[in-house]
A and B are shown apart, each in its own frame.
Chain A
């Protein structure tokens, strides 16, 4: 079946450290891949996405590249800030027959805490 596996948290970093959160997926067909972020007490926000192999999604200094050969979509940021403290979810979706959008399948989430 379709699934997403992401690294267990929590992850604690100092400000300006390099961040990597690993995400791998299993999917039948050709999924679109997403990273969502959930700040404390808030709803889910789309951080970035990639819809086909070798695409790179980027936003707010975060990047992730869709690697079909390794079925991965690792999230990276060169220099984290305290304001990046949140829970990060990797997710995929597949198109249904007829082109309609399928639901999102989420990883378990990785909690990031950035200390000043």
Chain B
């Protein structure tokens, strides 16, 4: 298994500001993903964080709004830029290994409230 930590666990931010969320995995993983869970909703994939290259974004999510870094095999960051109240959500990081090991592990999430 893999243990994933996220920082911060929660934050309250002002409209127009940006917040960077950190995701740390306790072992090397191939795949890392960022999801958003809006209040009372399911999880929606924002992007796949690729090590050493640009993230792969899902439809409806763009790099300018959600820049992602993945400098190595155990760490990634997601920035929520120029925030508005509609960005209030739980943001979750997940990680998995490739080549047939198809279980994904989730971090505890970052609960973001934008005023």
Binding site for B on A (CB under 8 A): 32, 34, 36, 42-46, 49, 51, 89, 93, 95, 99-101, 103-109
Chain A residues near B42: list those with CB within 8 A. Answer: 89, 106-109
A3 to B97: give the CA distance in the assembly, Å: 22
Q: How far is the CB of A88 from chain B (nearest CB, A)?
A: 11
A109 to B105: give the CA distance in the assembly, Å: 18
Please tell me the number of chain B residues within 8 Å of chain A, measured between CB atoms. 26
Complex interface bits, B58-90 against A, C-beta within 8 A gives 1, otherwise 0: 000000000000000000000000000000000
A101 in contact with B109 given A93-B104, A106-B42, A108-B41 (CB within 8 Å): no
Chain A residues near B106: list those with CB within 8 A. Answer: 36, 43-45
Task: Tell me if B99 and A100 are in contact (CB < 8 A).
Answer: yes
Task: Tell me if A104 and B107 are in contact (CB < 8 A).
Answer: no
A46 to B107: give the CA distance in the assembly, Å: 12
A99 to B97: give the CA distance in the assembly, Å: 10
A45 to B106: give the CA distance in the assembly, Å: 7
Q: How far is the CB of B11 from chain A (nearest CB, A)?
A: 16
Query: Nearest 6 pairs between A and B by C-beta?
Result: A43-B108, A100-B98, A44-B106, A108-B42, A101-B96, A32-B102
Chain A residues near B31: list those with CB within 8 A. Answer: 100-101
